[in-house]
Structure 1
Amino acid sequence: MSKNSKTDRQLDQYDHNMLAILSQYGRISVTDLADKVGLSKSPCQVRLKRLQQDGYIKGFRAELNAELLGLEHVAFAEVKLKNTSESSLEAFNEAARKITEIEQCHMIAGAFDYLLKVRTRDIQAYRRVLGEKISTLPNVQSTSTYVCMQAVKENGVLEV
């Protein structure tokens, strides 16, 4: 399946069920996954491999506890660029990907160009990241910051 065509192959109910379970329990064994979706182990493994190869499953990773790691401070930064030519956008994108404190970077259609989710130890660390890293990214004209007081929902589980 080409990664740009979502219609090359339709997912059936088994695929949808597997994706729903895996989105919440990424470390589930193939045997347990097969039991939950009503398949035997071998067909479940084949489907799992195909879902990975087709790009429906991008990977597996551990969800880390930001509080225990001392990275509780979250801020959202709006970024407006001086210009939005394709080369300016690509230069910004490439440089933003290298800043480890930027947890998410989204190009936005609206009054500003990018929305960044930035995770640091505290407000002082965020201020340093903003001044030394974000504000010096290519073509940045201005930034505005919104400090997160509480994360109400962050699980990122997709309904399939």
Structure 2
Amino acid sequence: MGGLDRIDLNILRALQADGRLSNADLAERVHVSPATCHRRTRRLFDEGYIKGVHARIAPEPVGLGVVAMVGVVLDRSTPESFAAFEEAVMGMAVVLDCVLVAGDFDYLIKVRIRDMANFNQLHGRDLIALPGVRQTRTFFIMKEVKEDAPLPF
């Protein structure tokens, strides 16, 4: 965190806890003037420290109460096969997270779906048809113990 001072870190912490803070409230919380706070916050966005501000939607009321983690093994470990797979996954709205991992799988994918029938359809139609997929293994989340925790800085 080379280019960040105490005030910048306090701004990041405050926005991470509540992205809806007004500039005036944020300035008061971090003990700077509103003009200084606005300038610093804008810089934090411009320099990529803040990627965005979003509402966290409750998944159950919108019909997406089931979470699954899908481990994916590709048939080849080449830059081309990774690129083709990643490009295809980027176009799938149902995929919340996709990470390249070391270990038994090449990728772990997190999806939110309506129910088991919806997952069965997604798996049979889309997931196993992704470029280079040799094998998948699915883990259904029974309880989310800790999710979207703030970054520990």
Deviation at 1:159, TM superposition (A): 2.1
- 1:124 counterpart residue number: 117
Counterpart in the other structure of 2:31: 38
What amino acid maps onto 1:149 in structure 2? M
Q: 2:95 aligns with which of 77, 95, 102?
A: 102
Distance 2:6 2:19 in 1: 19
- After superposition, residues 1-160 of structure 1 pair within 5 angstroms as 7=2, 10-160=3-153
Stretches of structure 1 that go unaligned for 5 or more consecutive residues are 1-5
The AA in structure 1 aligned to 2:86 is N
SS at match of 2:29: helix
Q: Provide the rounded CA distance (Å) in 1 between the counterparts of 2:150 and 2:139.
A: 24
Question: Structure 2: which 5+ residue stretches go unaligned?
Answer: none
User: Contact conserved, 1:78 with 1:114, CA < 8 A, in 2?
Assistant: yes
- Give percent identity, aligned residues only: 39
2:38 and 2:16 map into 1 onto residues whose CA distance is 16
**1:115 is paired with a residue of what secondary structure?**
strand
Preserved CA contact (<8 Å) 1:20 1:159: no
Q: Aligned with 1:19: secondary structure?
A: helix
Task: Report SS of the residue matched to 2:70.
Answer: strand
TM-score, length of structure 1 as denominator length: 0.93
Note the aligned Cα RMSD (angstroms): 1.0
Count of residues in Structure 1 that have an aligned counterpart in Structure 2: 153
Corresponding residue for residue 3 of structure 1: none
Work out the CA distance in 1 between the residues paired with 2:76 and 2:42: 43
- Between the aligned partners of 1:43 and 1:102, the Cα distance in structure 2 is 39
d(CA) in 2 for partners of 1:26, 1:91? 35
User: TM-score, normalization: structure 2?
Assistant: 0.97
Q: Distance in 2 between matches of 1:118 and 1:83?
A: 24
Tell me, yes or no, if the aligned pair for 1:77 and 1:117 is still in contact at 8 Å. yes
Report the CA distance between 1:155 and its aligned residue: 2.5
CA positional deviation for 1:108: 0.4
